[in-house]
Amino acid sequence: MEKKVPTDFTRRGFLCGITSVALLGALTMENAVAATGIKIGKDGRVTLALKSNPALTKVGGVVTFASADGYPMAVVRTSAKKDGYLSIFLVCTHRGATVEQFGNKWVCPQHGAQYTLAGKNLIGPAQVPLQQIPMKISATTLTIG
């Protein structure tokens, strides 16, 4: 009796897997810093004290935290301007896995989608950017939600 090659194991799939592993290894393994100085209001808004989060003093700095509902979120310093901050959900827009930071990208461990730190799509299968969260910015605090 002839033995069949499993249909889900293809040369292309194998090469894609090897490429993904190599790509992840080439990226800087830098993790975002957990935010400190956070207060969650009764309305669910998160207030983050800037002086407690020095990672946000430099462009490209990232802090992560959880929303009042427990969703993973991040604030990214996108520019040196006073309003150069962005807040996003760290939930992949493909099927909802939590994305992780690898250098200057968010990478989904589920199927390999990649996003810029600002949440724009780079590589599918996700077709939609990471969801941004409205944020009020003052000289001392960021209020998210």
Q: Which residues contribute to the site for ligand FES (CB under 6 A)?
A: 92, 94-95, 97, 108, 110-113, 125-126
Which residues on neighbouring strands pair with residue 64, listed in sequence order? 34, 74
Q: Which is nearer to ligand FES, 98 or 143 (CB)?
A: 98
Rounded to a whole number of angstroms, the minimum distance from the CB of residue 95 to ligand FES is: 4
Rounded to a whole number of angstroms, the minimum distance from the CB of residue 117 to ligand FES is: 16
Give per-residue burial for 89-107: e unless 16+ CB within 10 Å, then b. bbbbbbeeeebbbbeebbb
Instruction: Count CB-CB contacts under 10 A for residue 82.
Output: 9
Q: Which is nearer to ligand FES, 7 or 127 (CB)?
A: 127
**Residue 49 in tokens:** 């004290």
Q: Which is nearer to ligand FES, 104 or 110 (CB)?
A: 110
Q: Which is nearer to ligand FES, 86 or 107 (CB)?
A: 107
Rounded to a whole number of angstroms, the minimum distance from the CB of residue 19 to ligand FES is: 15
Q: What is the 3-state secondary structure (H, E, C) of 17-84?
A: HHHHHHHHHHCCCCCCEECCCEEECCCCCEEEEHHHCHHHHCCCCEEEEECCCCCEEEEEECCCCCCC
Rounded to a whole number of angstroms, the minimum distance from the CB of residue 141 to ligand FES is: 32
